Amino acid sequence: MSTAIYPGSFDPITLGHLNIIERAAKIFDELVVTVMFNAAKKTPMFTLEEKLEMVKKSVAGFENVRVESSDGLLAEYAKQFPGAVIIKGLRAASDFEYEFIMDQVNKNMNPELETMFLTADHEYTFLSSSIVRELASYGAELKGYVPDVIIEDIRAKIAEGGK
């Protein structure tokens, strides 16, 4: 059985992420979407529980997709899925530079670990979680940026003062 792991911070999940999930789920028998936390990234807008909940809601329609979380190193985490490959989305050359380095670092720790890249669909190349957070903080329309099922969750977070 082929397994892929799609890691990310998903703060929050966007339609760009969902597009990668949909495509990877067609290629692999099983896709594990892993919400990574405790990374070097700055303080997230959403708590881990909120991010997990939003990812779970968004992928509810996919039979072969499950959602997990990890606060460890991806290369270590992946060892529990022998033979699994890592899926990354590429939007621009800047994504490639970063991901290329991450791949080398991961291979140093776990030489068996392969990373496969899916290029972003053209309609999502501009889309990132940070753009969504920015739009949300100004009360802008979020339809077309994030899955419909999480729009209310983002609105609620903004209403309670999250940014």
**Counting contacts by CB under 6 A, is residue 55 touching ligand ADP?**
no
Q: Which letter does DSSP use for residue 121 in this model?
A: P
Largest pairwise CA distance in the chain: 46
**Counting contacts by CB under 6 A, is residue 133 touching ligand ADP?**
no
Q: Which is nearer to ligand ADP, 122 or 159 (CB)?
A: 122
Q: Which is nearer to ligand ADP, 29 or 123 (CB)?
A: 123
H or E element that contains 34: strand 30-36
**Counting contacts by CB under 6 A, is residue 78 touching ligand ADP?**
no
Q: Which is nearer to ligand ADP, 10 or 46 (CB)?
A: 10
- Residues touching ligand ADP: how many (CB under 6 A)? 17
What is the b/e burial string over 10-43, where b = at least 16 CB atoms within 10 angstroms of the residue's CB? bbbbbbbbbbbbbebbeebebbbbbbbbeeeeee
The residues annotated as belonging to the active site are: 17, 41, 91, 129
